[in-house]
Amino acid sequence: MEELLDILKSLHPDVDFEHCDSLIDDKILDSIDIVSLVAEINDAFDVAVPAEEIIPENFNSAQALWEMIQRLDEA
Amino acid sequence: MRKKLIFTGVLWCVLLAVALWLLNALFMPKYMSEIPEGALIAEYYNETADHDVVFIGDCEVYENFSPDVLWREYGITSYIRGSAQQLIWQSYYLMEETLKYETPKVMVFNVLSMQYGEPQSEAYNRLNLDGMRLSPQKLAAVEASMTEEESMLSYLFPLLRYHTRWSELTAEDVKYMFHRDPVSDSGYLMNVEVRPAENVPEGAPLADYQFAEVCYDYLDKMVELCENHGVELVLIKAPSLYPYWYGQWEEQMEDYAAEKGLKYINFLELIDEAGLDFSTDTYDHGLHLNLYGAEKLSHWFGSWLRENCPQVADRRGEEPYETVWNEKSEAYAQRKAQLEAAWAAEQKEEPEA
Amino acid sequence: MSFASAQFLAFFAVLFVLYYLIPRRHQWKLLLVGSVFFYFFAGWYCLVYIGVTAVTTWLAARKIGALQARQDAWLRERREELNKEARKARKAADKKVRWRWALGSMLLNFGILAVVKYTDFVLGSVNGVLSAAGAGTQLPLANLVLPMGISFYTFQSMGYLIDVYWGKYPPERSLGRFALFVTFFPQLIQGPISRYNDLSQTLYAEHRWDSRQIAMGGMRALWGLGKKLIIADRLAIPLRELTAAPEEYAGLYVLAVMFLYAVQLYADFTGGIDITIGVAQMLGVKVTENFERPFFSKNIAEYWRRWHITMGTWFRDYVFYPLSVSKGVLKLHQKARARLGEAGKRVSVYLCTMILWFVTGLWHGASWNFIVWGLLNGVVILVSQECEPLYARFHGRFPGLKGTFGYRLFEVGRTFVLMSAIRVLDVYRDVPLTFRQVGTVFTSFRPSVLWDGSFLELGLSAGDWLIAALGAAALVVCSLLGRREPVRQRLVRRPSLAWGGCAALVVCMVIFGVYGIGFDATQFIYNQF
């Protein structure tokens, strides 16, 4: 989780990722951020996020992202 | 609440309809100070008494015959339902429409339009059709006349055609929203100017002199229509020197008249007999007769009618014709005096070379 | 039939009345019949194209759905006996089979689109190369007729297919209902590109007469028609003139083309979408919004989230994301990062962005103009991404500036000018010409054409220009008024005002709309007969 937050912070240093739960709905992350994030997650956690998982529910908060990563890791 | 809503809706729809109707009246071209030809067709509906002779056709009827002369000299009541470049199907439907209002003794049709087998120009269609009252005849005439880019809808709601006039509306458009001044005398569009005919060109040879089949169809329909209503159809070719009337055309018309047992007069052959002089009797170098020419021609034609169409009565002294035509004569004389004064003034200003 | 035609008005009037008279469970069937009729009007051969797409997509999606169901059942039955690896293996194997079905259908349908849309473009480009190489032979062009709305319905169908493949929702069982989704007539001509899970919520439902919704939809459609007839079609006249003879109209005229085209395209496209959404709303169907006051965007990336939204999200979801998360791209990402460090992180993302914009350009039209246009958009977006630290430094130095009205105005103006400049690629014949024309803005700038009456020679009178300007101003005002709540939502609460406004708009449209044969008094000059 710490590592994920670091990745997020490197994208937007000025955003409070611990508490924000509307990263997509409030347009804080745009599509370029999202694909950067997916690439970083792939590097850091060795988890491939398929295109169908790129939906607002999975990207709205750091928590949701973390849950998705764990789910994908298990499956 | 619901009722109120429906009421509001209906009210606004009615208001919108009224507004569009008023705008339609405002945007229609009025044809008062310019292009008076456009006002001719509608003027017929103001007539109060019926007529024994009705002329139908293009400018070769409404510029060349004077109903006033026919009345004053022979007591013949007549009207000209002419309009600019009137095509033969337009003539036919005008004939049909006229017969809804009255049954004259004689219908006179000028055959020049036999040369056009296809719709010609949107502008002339508008001049000839917009004036007609809404009727099955009007719809049929529009249907037959429309050029490719035209639509029936724009004849039903002319505002759709004339809406772009918003930038050129004048006081005239307001003044004549609901009425028009008469521009003609019983359909005759008076012109007193004199421009002699000189060096009238021969017609250029044509590839094909045969009149179109559709023209013959409409001519057949005219013959049949008149027969059914007990009206005698007389065919004429007015004495205009131009557009050129070809011998091959003349032949076809003579054959047709003979075949159908119709009377056919080619005035081009009667120029001398009628006393026409194309150095004084035309206002545009031989295309149309001026007032003096039209009066001479009407004098000749009146006596011809007297001789050949005995069913056309002398209505002088008979009411309501006497009163109606006296009024018409007065207006005619007045217009004549006015136009002559205007022409004289123009001549003084810049004497024509 | 075009939205701005008497035929469409009559067609819709009949459909609308029938729609609320027949039993409600048949309403969607009437829509299908109406849509097929609407499409038939464009030419029977179009029906063949759209029919093939509808049937093959429906079949493939059903097959994929059935395979998915079989796999789920199989896994459920053997939940106890299988370990994780075995489950994974089965899933992967099944996914491959499903992918084959999806791929087959995509190849067929995108193939049809590619053939009808791009054959002549490719042949023409080959001819260009041939003649440049001095070859005497030229390939004959195919001159295929483009079926109405093929780009839109193909994308809509394929989006559905991919969603089913991804397992986002089960496939539609009924062919009729799916055919309605593909052919729904209000969005056939120019989109929006709807998503099945979105449109199906209201498309097949039973709709009662709802005066409020119908009034709102009617007002919206009317407003859209006004935009088209009064503003877009009017400005199309000088634009035609300006782009038909580009040599004559250089310098300042090119600037005029940029801004006139921006307004014209906006009025035409959003007007059309207003009619689409309004007409659908009158039938109780909710179609996705396609615009969100795009000209108030502060940068190009934002502009593209607010202009032609459904197209942007389609490309994002079905091209950009899948491409970015594909194995090859992720590998590239790792390699670039290993070699270039921090900067390398951006290589793959930027590559995908450029590919996305290349495809977007190609979708817009089969010509180099659109390809260059798309790539330019991509470049501008990436450059502004790179410049972000610069902006941050700038704002660090002038902290009071950001967020002020003046600065926001500057941002909006900058975006508008930039987008208008890129968009001129739409209007001129070819790419070199476009760049030459834009060049003349700097080389032959003669402002005198603004006031010496030159603009009155382009087919519009002073009065017409005034109408266009007033119309454009009305669009801006309405846009601003509608920020919190659409104007018609406020109007619908005051029926008299709503009716009056609509009546006034109809009158304005009848008089100031650009349609029919222009009355030209000079035609009436009486010469011969």
Instruction: Delineate the domains of chain B, giving CATH numbers in brackets.
Output: 43-122+184-199+207-349 (3.40.50.1110)
In C227-326, alpha helices (H)? 233-244, 252-282, 300-306, 309-315, 321-324
Q: Using one digit for the tens of pLDDT, what is the confidence trace for B223-277?
A: 999 999 999 999 999 998 888 899 999 999 999 999 999 999 999 999 999 999 9
- The answer to whether the CB atoms of A31 and C321 lie below 8 A apart is yes
On chain B, the residues whose CB falls within 8 A of the CB of C517 are 122, 149-150, 154, 161
Q: Using one digit for the tens of pLDDT, what is the confidence trace for B119-139?
A: 888 889 999 999 999 999 999
Average pLDDT (B183-210) is 88
Which of B164, B241, B287 should we substitute to test contact with C (largest number of C Cβ atoms within 10 Å)? B164
Question: Given A27, A35, A42, which is nearest C321 (Cβ)?
Answer: A35
On chain C, the residues whose CB falls within 8 A of the CB of A71 are none
On chain C, the residues whose CB falls within 8 A of the CB of B243 are 528-529
Which of C467, C524, C528 should we substitute to test contact with B (largest number of B Cβ atoms within 10 Å)? C524
In A1-75, alpha helices (H)? 2-11, 31-45, 56-59, 62-74
Q: Is the pLDDT of residue C528 over 80?
A: no
Structural domain boundaries of chain C? 43-183, 295-429
B-C interface (Cβ pairs under 8 Å ≥ 3): yes
Dist. CA C99–CA C109, nearest whole Å: 15
Enumerate residues 336 to 375 of chain C having a beta carbon within 8 A of any beta carbon in chain B. Answer: none
Q: Using one digit for the tens of pLDDT, what is the confidence trace for C90-128?
A: 888 999 999 999 999 999 999 999 999 888 888 988 888
On chain C, the residues whose CB falls within 8 A of the CB of A75 are 88
Q: Which of A49-63, C197-211, C337-351 has the lowest mean pLDDT?
A: C337-351
Two structure tokens written together for B159: 């505002």
Q: Is B35 on the interface with C (CB under 8 A)?
A: yes
On chain C, the residues whose CB falls within 8 A of the CB of B166 are 463, 511-512
Count Cα atoms within 13 angstroms, Cβ side, for C193: 24
pLDDT for position C502: 92
Q: Is the pLDDT of residue C35 over 90?
A: yes
Question: Given C321, C327, C348, which is nearest A51 (Cβ)?
Answer: C321
Q: Is the pLDDT of residue C525 over 60?
A: no
Look at residues C422, C127, C399, C391 and name the one whose alpha carbon lies nearest to residue C303: C422
Q: Taking the CB of residue A53, how many other CB atoms lie within 10 A of it?
A: 18
Question: Given C464, C518, C529, which is nearest B85 (Cβ)?
Answer: C529
Q: Using one digit for the tens of pLDDT, what is the confidence trace for C431-465?
A: 888 888 888 888 877 788 778 888 888 888 889 99
Q: Which of C67-76, C312-321, C452-461 has the lowest mean pLDDT?
A: C452-461
pLDDT for position B352: 54
pLDDT for position B141: 95
Question: Given A27, A43, A52, which is nearest C166 (Cβ)?
Answer: A52
- Four-point Cα dihedral B291, B296, B302, B305, nearest 10: -110
Q: Is A54 on the interface with C (CB under 8 A)?
A: yes
On chain C, the residues whose CB falls within 8 A of the CB of A12 are none
Largest Cα span, chain C: 100
B310: cis peptide before it, omega within 30°? no
On chain A, the residues whose CB falls within 8 A of the CB of C168 are 52
The nearest alpha carbon in chain B to C511 belongs to B163
Q: Is the pLDDT of residue C519 over 60?
A: no
Q: What is the mean pLDDT of chain B?
A: 92
With tokens 């034609």, the residue in question is B301
pTM of the model: 0.88
B-A interface (Cβ pairs under 8 Å ≥ 3): no
With tokens 């005198």, the residue in question is C448
Bridge partner list, B109: B56, B235
Burial C96-128 (b: 16+ CB within 10 A, else e): eebeebbeebbeebeebbbebbbebbebbeebe
Q: What is the pLDDT along chain A (75 residues), one digit of tens a residue?
A: 888 888 888 888 888 888 888 888 888 888 888 888 888 888 888 888 888 899 888 999 889 999 999 888 876
pLDDT for position C520: 39
- The answer to whether the CB atoms of C333 and A31 lie below 8 A apart is no
Measured CB to CB, residues of chain C less than 8 Å from chain A are: 88, 166-168, 301, 305, 316-317, 320-322, 324-325, 327, 329-330, 333-334, 337, 345-346, 348-349, 352-353, 385
Q: Is A32 on the interface with C (CB under 8 A)?
A: yes
Report yes or no: B132 and B92 within 8 Å, Cβ to Cβ: no
For chains B and C, count residue pairs whose Cβ atoms are closer than 8 Å: 82
Bigger pLDDT: C243 vs B351: C243
Look at residues B94, B80, B178, B164 and name the one whose alpha carbon lies nearest to residue B128: B94
ipTM: 0.91
Q: Is the pLDDT of residue B58 over 60?
A: yes
On chain B, the residues whose CB falls within 8 A of the CB of C524 are 29, 34-35, 38, 123, 127
Two structure tokens written together for B24: 């339609």
